[in-house]
Chain A
Amino acid sequence: MVAGLECFDTNLLPHLALFALGVAMFTPLGESLAIPALRSKWKSLETKLGQMFAGMFLICLSGFTVSAHTLWMHNKSQEMGGGAFCSAGTVCDCASVIGNNDWNTMPVLGIPWGLLGMLAFALFMWLIISMAKEPAASWVLNHIKVGTNFGIIGLGVILYLMYAEYEIGKICQFCTTAHIAHVGATIGFFKLSKIYGTSEWNSGAATQKVDVMAKERRKRGGYVAPKTSSEEE
């Protein structure tokens, strides 16, 4: 085994691929990734703002899928009374972390951390999808604020979970991937709040508006309703 690779688990690949794709959408590479086929389906990908939304969605989706994976492992460990699911390294061992009944659920509420991750990333995805669909809406700023604040609260939760890993003496790669996705999403919300109201945001929002009007025309089959004289005024 190559040094440093003992913590790598091939089951992480789909989550990491989504995450990497999401991060790439933030970079100049996003322009190339938004291929014409995708642009024709999602017009918003033509703008930098649309690419940012797509990137954030992919990052949150990777966080969601890896959280779902940890919940699955949690349930399996409860089913089998413990076991090894990850590479059985000396430091990297998910079974010891997710299978540890003293740390694997939220204090007070008792829900598995994986389920909390799924709920958190589902919230993030909803905030992002709704903003991407209507970037000029009146509630967009509220969505950014909610996302940013939940992101900050989540950082506290991550610190607690890192402390749990320290106490157990093992690191779970799946949990760490979810933590990284959360940090990525939080940074994304900060970036959105930074560009909100700027020309970059407004040009993206304008493209979206045209998109909505085109969609409406398609829905009506090209029919344009006649306007009364009072409406024309």
Chain B
Amino acid sequence: MIRRNIGDEAGARSDGVMIVSIIFITAFTYIALTTNPVYTGVGVGDRAPELNGQIYDGTTWVDFNLKDQFNDTWSEGEPGTYYLVEFMDTNCGICVSAAEKKFTPQEQAAWLGDNPQRPMPEGISVEFLAVSISLWDESVSGKSYGRTVVEDFREAYSHNFPYMDMQDNSHQDDWGNFGTPTYFLIDPSGIIQYTNLETPGYDFRDALDDIVPRGA
């Protein structure tokens, strides 16, 4: 005859599970309700990774750290600067086309400078930053790299925003490996609000217009 197991041994272990689960869930709920972590990455909603190097502002090469441009505690309604970061290659046909057709003098005048044509709230501004990376090796015929190439490229298309020299591709550790042109629109707190990696058909100019607040 099969006798009913009346031992309490299993009960002790399941009681333990219940008690520990309650403690664990309580602690986890408290943490979940009181924190809102933002992780560093290249997706929309992520904190933009580190990006520092030398930029050419039209006259000289100077040190630049993208993180220094942001205010971690910024919130909507406060003054701040949105950054449009373009990863490009001076030898990439689509980047050349974008430099000519998308970053036109009219487009730059609409967003950049002290008095942009596009109406914006008091204290809100937009900056562009082109990051020159290298998709090929200089040994490949027809591909040339170097700072003079970057300077000439900027001059050729009358760009009045800075170009960063990242031709050693050292950004790849933090930003990953992607093609060009790749755009990121970063808000004044350093959070990525747009990237064409996630929405390929959504142009960065439309994203700028949609995301950057409009003034009177």
Contact = CB atoms under 8 A, between A and B. Distances in A.
Contacts of A74: 37
Interface stretch (A15-23, A127-135, A144-152): A127-135
Interface string B43-73: 0000100000000000000000000001011
Contact of A129 (B20, B24, B28, B36): B20
B20 A78 contact: no
Contacts of B35: 72, 75-76, 79
Interface stretch (B9-17, B79-87, B129-137): B9-17
B156 interface: no
Nearest to B36: A79
Nearest to A78: B37
Contact of A78 (B30, B34, B38): B38
Contact of A101 (B23, B27, B40): B40
Contact of B23 (A64, A128, A139): A64
Chain A CB within 10 Å — which of B9, B72, B190 has the most?
A: B9
A64 B27 contact: yes
A37 to B, nearest CB: 20
Contact of B16 (A72, A130, A138): A130
A65 interface: yes
B8 interface: yes
B16 A75 contact: no
A9 B128 CA distance: 44
Contact of B24 (A72, A78, A122, A134): A122
B192 to A, nearest CB: 13
Interface in A46-82: 61, 64-65, 68, 71-72, 74-76, 78-82
Contacts of A127: 16
B37 A133 contact: no
Interface string A74-93: 11101111110000000000
Interface in A104-127: 118, 122, 125-127
Contact of B190 (A72, A81, A128, A212): A81
B140 interface: no
A11 B79 CA distance: 35
Contact of B20 (A80, A126, A212): A126
A126 B17 contact: yes
B34 A129 contact: no
B94 to A, nearest CB: 33
Given A72-B35, A79-B35, A125-B20, A139 B27 contact: no
Interface residues of B, number: 30
Nearest to B9: A137
Chain B CB within 10 Å — which of A65, A83, A118, A128 has the most?
A: A118
A131 B40 CA distance: 43
B19 interface: yes
Chain A CB within 10 Å — which of B7, B24, B38 has the most?
A: B24
B68 to A, nearest CB: 12
A212 B8 contact: yes
Nearest to A73: B35
A47 to B, nearest CB: 17
Contacts of B190: 81
B38 A139 contact: no
Contact of A138 (B9, B47, B70): B9
Contacts of A128: 16
Given A78-B37, A81-B47, A130 B23 contact: no
Interface of A: 61, 64-65, 68, 71-72, 74-76, 78-83, 101, 118, 122, 125-131, 133-134, 137-139, 212
12 contacts: A75-B36, A78-B47, A81-B38, A81-B47, A81-B70, A125-B20, A126-B20, A129-B12, A130-B12, A130-B13, A130-B15, A133-B12
The 5 closest A-B pairs by CB, nearest first: A75-B35, A134-B12, A78-B37, A133-B12, A81-B72
